[in-house]
Homo-oligomer: A and B are copies of this chain.
């Protein structure tokens, strides 16, 4: 496979990772995603990893990179659908996906993104503190 498809849905981009992210594919995905964020003006990126049974340090770094790059481009990233075994392995490996938001499934991820984007777009409407502590 050459590249992972990126689906545009309203203000969000959706990526479903179904295969192992080897080096070139991961770099292509980073590149494609950032270009899509720039081209479409997307405000959120959802990455579904429900089909991924192993997340190693490389993939953890790729997810972190995508989140950081998207944030610079004014888009938030949420990783959704993580299998329980993956979460266990990640913590055992000492990888806590710093700076990456997570949610249980796509719907909850979209709700989270709506909250994030709402806070960013209308900071004067609500005087609540920005919840930085839900970064998992």
Contact = CB atoms under 8 A, between A and B. Distances in A.
Interface of A: 1, 3-5, 7-10, 14, 16, 18-19, 48, 50-51, 81, 105-107, 110
Copies of this chain present: 2
B1 A7 contact: no
A14 B110 CA distance: 14
22 contacts: A1-B51, A5-B18, A5-B48, A5-B50, A5-B51, A5-B81, A7-B14, A7-B50, A7-B81, A7-B105, A8-B105, A8-B107, A9-B9, A9-B106, A9-B107, A10-B107, A14-B14, A14-B106, A16-B16, A18-B18, A18-B19, A19-B19
Contact of A106 (B3, B4, B7): B7
B9 A110 contact: yes
Nearest to A110: B9
Given A16-B18, A18-B18, A106 B8 contact: yes
